[in-house]
Chain A
Amino acid sequence: MSGIVTQEGVAAWLRAFAEAVAKNREYLTELDAAIGDADHGSNMDRGMQAVVGRIDGPSAGTAGGGVGALLKLVGMTLVSTVGGAAGPLYGTFFLQVGKAAGEATELTLAQWAAALEAGVKGVQMRGKAVLEDKTMVDTLMPAAQALSAAAASGAGLAEALRQAAAAAEQGMKATIPLIARKGRASYLGERSAGHQDPGATSSWLLLQTAAETLAAGAPAEVPGA
């Protein structure tokens, strides 16, 4: 069972991500204040709180439609509640992952890795960003690639997710010296160098919480839970 991504696992992941965003709300805003407009933390928190409210709410669409429907709900919630560029970008991510996941309620690691790759492609397509533009793509892309590579090499789900999170962390940290070429931070030109990208940071939280929760049914593994 530990090799399967379940709908319950995905829901747990989303709650954990929401919690991580809430906990790091000030930190994200602080990062954004340095090179953006100081609202990433509050925007993401607002969005993820709304997400949690929906997936746990009375009108939750989790009963039917599988992982795809759940993630579509997440994506649509984010696009209408986040407000900043993170709204359409994370919205696209979840919509695309959900679309790739389809109606299944359980996904294999390979299926999940493919879905994640689709999500990342969606983000790239939406934001027209490539690697080293100092965006969330710098975190998401290496993470998706690591996940796929781990899946191809026959690693277990937990291990693959850990590797993806590690790649995400590395990618996030690699944004520090970069000069932003997309979004508000690009207005700063060279002065954007020396700051970690807030979007890349929230994306790392996404991958990190995935590693902590998505290998479902094993809450004992969740650190600090």
Chain B
Amino acid sequence: MSPAQSTLLAAGEASQHRPLIITLFAVFVAATLVITVWAGRQTKDAADFYAGGRQFTAFQNGLAVSGDYMSAASFLGIAGAIALFGYDGFLYSIGFLVAWLVALLLVAEPLRNSGRYTMGDVLAYRMRQRPVRTAAGTSTIVVSIFYLLAQMAGAGVLVSLLLGITSDAGKIGIVALVGVLMIVYVTIGGMKGTTWVQMVKAVLLIAGALLLTFLVLLKFHFNVSDLLGKAADNSGKGSPFLQPGLKYGATGTTKLDFLSLGLALVLGTAGLPHILIRFYTVPTAKAARKSVNWAIGLIGAFYLMTLALGFGAAALIKPDEIIASNKSGNTAAPLLALHLGGVDSDWGAILLASISAVAFATILAVVAGLTLASSSSFAHDIYANVIKKGTATDKEEVRAARWASVGIGAVSIVLGALARDLNVAGLVALAFAVAASANLPTILYSLFWKRFTTSGALWSIYGGLVTAVGLVLFSPVVSGKETSMFPHVDFHWFPLENPGIISIPVGFLLGVVGTLLSKERPDAAKYAELEVRSLTGTGAH
């Protein structure tokens, strides 16, 4: 997403709609700041800051989970990928959705029952605290920073595009604004504020998608087959547009890459720290289960709507116009809004502005969730349990979390500004791969494998992490291709963009190898405690 590719909206349409778009952005920001200050006043102890006081209802948390999960990548990215590549764009949504079953069946309830504030609580439960907390904190921060960086850089590109800002200073300004807002949400509002922001965003996003879906279907008299036929014709690609293969079917390597991506998507979700900590915001494991069910319903319905948006954009807008606006198709949804309302009409302008504001809200809510997850893990896992060895008071811990979010926010602003012209969209898939390779194996072994030990956990977390990050470093995501982060150098030797197909089995395998090779005996009493607590909720916080 370089500036050269993103001129269309910028040049003509965006600047003309700018006042309206800015007004809607400002309204959203003002509303969320009011919520944040209100939530901040209600935030008194550590359980409030980290877990929103554990008093959200299953439906509220289900909405917030959806708000946390449906990033700009899924709203704009999937709609755009469908608009340009047809069916292959839809493949993402399926992996993103099916993945929730892993969280539902194996992770959400045991985590809620046995942990307090972070993923590290469960990973370190029966292990030696300091090394495992350090590993869990490291992997949480790495996953979150990759994810955050992709969102921040994406926000810079997207928002400047929607507002018609082309200067470097303008883009850096937007990255900084997003960064400052997310720091404010997290430091002042904690989990309560962040959860409300995510709920508001989820409602706006679903309402926006519903409206566009309705308008698209109305145009085609609710005949889905006609919509698909028109999309295939207008795309210039004919019936292959409606089949898998346009994006991933080119060669044996791209097919393998798709398999690798599919694995990372389906196994990554249940290892994403910012998703996992959401389960602590409800009072019981049963409520955690219900919130996952709400999330599955809402996210599933939303992805079905992105089908209508993507194919609608393909049917109603010339592919050249979509590509001219943004090469990856990321502005297909806003463009669709403009076309549905009428390019030169007020109604078109209002729709475009509303969908742009929804996209902005989406980015803000997701970055806030990521900042909260990483600063919580820093404060609770690393500061309180490793550095202070468990002697920190609640107050000191929360203060550390607030400062950590300022630090993480500042780092993300700098990295996001530096990466503003790099193609960092691949980092989201990488975050999923790291989560699936480093976090999920340890979560599952900890909960379900009696024999698992501290060395197994360390081998699995660090081994999965290093393998996933290492392979990406030497993949075409980073160098060697026109679409790479650094297109002008080439040090890639790993052919796939997604490391999952190697790094996920490695993560699982190293957990077993590390356990079997060490002489350490598992702590049977601690496992008894974890197992009974995780399944029954005895002594749950």
Asked if A and B are interacting partners, one says no
Interface residues in chain A, defined as those with a beta carbon under 8 Å from any beta carbon in chain B: none
Interface residues in chain B, defined as those with a beta carbon under 8 Å from any beta carbon in chain A: none
